[in-house]
Amino acid sequence: MAFLKQPIDSRHPDSRLCAFFALHHFTNGAVDKTMFFEKATNHYLTAFDPSAGVTKELAKSLVEDGNDPSVFQSFNMKQGDVAALEAKGVGIMAAGGHFFTVRKVHGQWTSFDSANHPAPKPYGSLAQLMKAEARNGQIWVGA
């Protein structure tokens, strides 16, 4: 799987799509941007009470804003804990409005935070990775 670098320049439309980049790395590239937008837009169309009046345009705008981890539910994920992450060997961290994949690669826990690293960044342990990057955020794992 190729490491897909997330732009950090706020003028770039993909700079706020960390949920997409996290899912892309989580699925080894199986989630592309078209699939992400389709599923995430449908998530917002169905997540709100119909009386809220969420239109397809508003749902797409919510996807483009990219700061809601509940969208991971549409990709067969659930909120978990450190034990679930260790058991699965891969998950998505949702910390401070930013999302990124963490994965055990060749026995080392590795951050796929493509907004903050030019390549996957290995750590000595999951605890070290979480202390350095996760900031006590949510953990999402495959259901």
Tens-place pLDDT, residues 81-123: 999 999 999 999 998 889 999 999 999 999 999 999 999 999 9
pLDDT score, position 2: 82
| Residue 49 pLDDT grade (very low, low, confident, very high; cuts 50, 70, 90) | confident
Supply the pTM of this predicted model. 0.92
* Cα diameter, the chain: 49
- Could you tell me which residue, 96 or 124, shows the higher pLDDT? 124
Range list of H helices, the chain = 18-26, 33-47, 56-65, 82-88, 126-129
pLDDT score, position 134: 77
Taking the C-alpha atoms of residue 42 and residue 48, their distance in angstroms, rounded to an integer, is 11
Taking the C-alpha atoms of residue 15 and residue 66, their distance in angstroms, rounded to an integer, is 9
Q: What proportion of the chain, given as a percentage, has pLDDT over 90? A: 71
